[in-house]
């Protein structure tokens, strides 16, 4: 068995957030090249179309849904449209994220909260929406950062806090027994 065969995704459906630029585009393209159909979510709808063309150039189906992961209802809409159009969700790549480079003494509460809402809370809302429809053996990949565990000595308090929080959230979600099609515990 070859390494490439181990990573075949034929018949799978992936959802990638932050799919309008950077790592999100690369993840979507790689998943498509491995054989997955890909649902794309991001705030910039015009750039999602470009990513969709890359997925389709790999011979796969693409679905572009403008999504702001800060809003749980938009996360659910992305998953619902994926099910309606592509039939299932096997993989979620939580990649949507923003950075900040503001000294902690100068960062406003709104700036700090905005980073947490996208980088941490958005991953939670997407994981919650996806896990409700995923079958056993499905995967959720949360994209964090080495800055979640070490410091670079840069003024990035909100970013670092969000990525460290995401690592903790990932550990907890990995240990959680999800119950598809049911409400999360309150």
Strand partners, 64: 40
Q: Which of 27, 127, 159, 163 is flagged as catalytic? A: 159
At 161 the three-state DSSP class reads: helix
Element (H, E) at 15: strand 13-17
Give the closest residue to 89 by CA, choosing from 167, 9, 151, 25.
9
Active site residue 159: yes
Residue 14 CA to residue 169 CA, distance in Å, equals 21
Q: Which residues are catalytic?
A: 159
């Amino acid at each position: 068995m070859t390494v490439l065969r181990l990573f075949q995704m034929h018949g799978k459906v992936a959802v990638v957030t932050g799919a309008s630029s950077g790592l999100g585009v690369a993840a979507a393209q790689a998943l498509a090249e491995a054989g997955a159909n890909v649902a794309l979510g991001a705030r910039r709808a015009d750039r999602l179309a470009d990513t969709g063309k890359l997925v389709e150039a790999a011979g796969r189906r693409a679905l572009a849904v403008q999504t702001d992961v800060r809003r749980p209802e938009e996360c659910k809409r992305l998953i619902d449209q994926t099910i309606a159009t592509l039939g299932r969700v096997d993989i979620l790549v939580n990649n949507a994220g923003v950075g900040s480079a503001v000294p902690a003494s100068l960062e406003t509460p709104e700036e700090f909260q905005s980073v947490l809402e996208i980088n941490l809370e958005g991953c939670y809302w997407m994981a919650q929406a996806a896990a409700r429809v995923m079958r056993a053996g499905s995967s959720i990949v949360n994209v964090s950062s080495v800055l979640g565990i070490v410091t670079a000595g840069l003024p990035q308090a909100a970013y670092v806090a969000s990525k460290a929080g995401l690592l903790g959230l990932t550990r907890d979600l990995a240990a959680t027994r999800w119950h598809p099609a049911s409400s999360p515990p309150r």
